Amino acid sequence: MDTNFTLRGGIVMPAIGYGTYKAADGEDESHIRMALETGYRLLDTASFYGNEYLVGKAMKESGIERKDIFLTTKVWKADLGYETTLKSVECSLKRLGTDYVDLCLIHWPKPAPFADYWKELDRGSWRALEKLCRQGLIRAIGVSNFLPHHLEALIKEAEILPAVDQLELHVGYMQEAAAAYCRAHGIVLQAWSPLGRRRVMEDLSVVRMAEKYGVTAAQLLLKFLLSLDIAVIPKSSTRERMEENLNLPDFELAWEDLSFLRCLPQSGWSGEHPDLARVPV
C-alpha cells in the first residue's frame, strides 16, 4: 500500500493522519504529542477545534523538523468571505506557531444550512486561499464537507483547483456521488470519521470480516478506505489504538469483500450535512 498521496502541484500528503478534534483538553497536548511519537506525520486541526495552540506546542516539543510534518487547518464557516478568511489564516498561523501550513481547507460550504448567499462567500474565501497559496503561506488548498453542487459553484471561478475534499466517509456512509465527482475532477478524498463510530465498529458483518483477515475492525475499516484511494484521519486517545490505526498489517481485501462493504445500508452517520439542519442520531 502506498503510504502517501500526491496532491496537485506534486505535494505529498501522508495517507494516514491523526485527527486532533477533541484530542486536547485545556492545556494538555499529550495525546497530540503521543501521536507524533507513535509515528504520525499528518496532523489535522481547525480554527473551530480550539486546539491550534496545543498542536503547535506538541509539534515544537516533539523535536521533529517542521518540514517532516504535514499540517492541515481549516477556515470555519463563520469566517467565510475574502477578508475574514485572510484574517482567519493569519490567526491560525500565529496559534500554530508556524509560518506556513501544508493544507488549508474551507471547513463548511455554508455559514448556515439554508443560507442563500453562500456561493459568493465561498468564492471570496477561495480567492483569499489562492492568494495565500501564491504567497507561500499555504502549500495546498482544498475544502471540507463540500458536495458536488458546492464544488461546481466554486470551480467555475477558481484559478487554483481544490486539492482535497475532506468528507465524512466510512462503511455505511460512502457518499458515492460526491466521491465520484471528486475523482472525476482530480480531487483527493480524505475521510473524517473513517471508523464510523461504534455502530459500524461493532456491526457483526464487519467484525466477522475482520476476523477472517486476522485484523481488528478498525484496521479493516481503514484498509477498506485506503483500498479505494481515500486518505484517512482516524482519532484515538491511547497509544495502542494509535499504533493499530497507523501500522496496518499487509493484507489485501478481496473484490467481493470491498463490494460488500460499499453496499452496506447507511449506518454510523454523524447527522451533519451542509445543506440540512443537524439531524439527531
Instruction: Determine the CATH number of domain 4-262.
Output: 3.20.20.100
Arithmetic mean of pLDDT over the chain: 96
Q: How confident is the model at residue 2 (pLDDT cuts 50, 70, 90)?
A: low
pLDDT tens, position by position, 141-172: 999 999 999 999 999 999 999 999 999 999 99
Over 90: is that where the pLDDT of 25 sits? Answer: no
49 is catalytic: yes
Q: Pick the catalytic residue from 18, 40, 49, 181.
A: 49
Q: How confident is the model at residue 1 (pLDDT cuts 50, 70, 90)?
A: low
d(CA 141, CA 126): 9
pLDDT tens, position by position, 203-242: 999 999 999 999 999 999 999 999 999 999 999 999 999 9
pLDDT tens, position by position, 175-204: 999 999 999 999 999 999 999 999 999 999
d(CA 275, CA 108): 10
| 86-94 own/partner pairs: CB under 8 Å, 24+ apart | 86/128, 86/131, 86/132, 88/47, 89/128, 89/129, 89/132, 89/137, 89/138, 91/47, 92/47, 92/52, 93/137
Contacts of 233 (CB under 8 A, 6+ apart): 16, 17, 18, 19, 42, 44, 166, 190, 191, 192, 194
Tell me the average pLDDT across 20-46.
Answer: 94
Per-residue confidence (pLDDT) for residue 280, from 0 to 100: 76
Q: What is the CA radius of gyration of the chain?
A: 18
Over 80: is that where the pLDDT of 260 sits? Answer: yes
Per-residue confidence (pLDDT) for residue 4, from 0 to 100: 97
d(CA 100, CA 121): 23
- The cell for 103 is 493544507
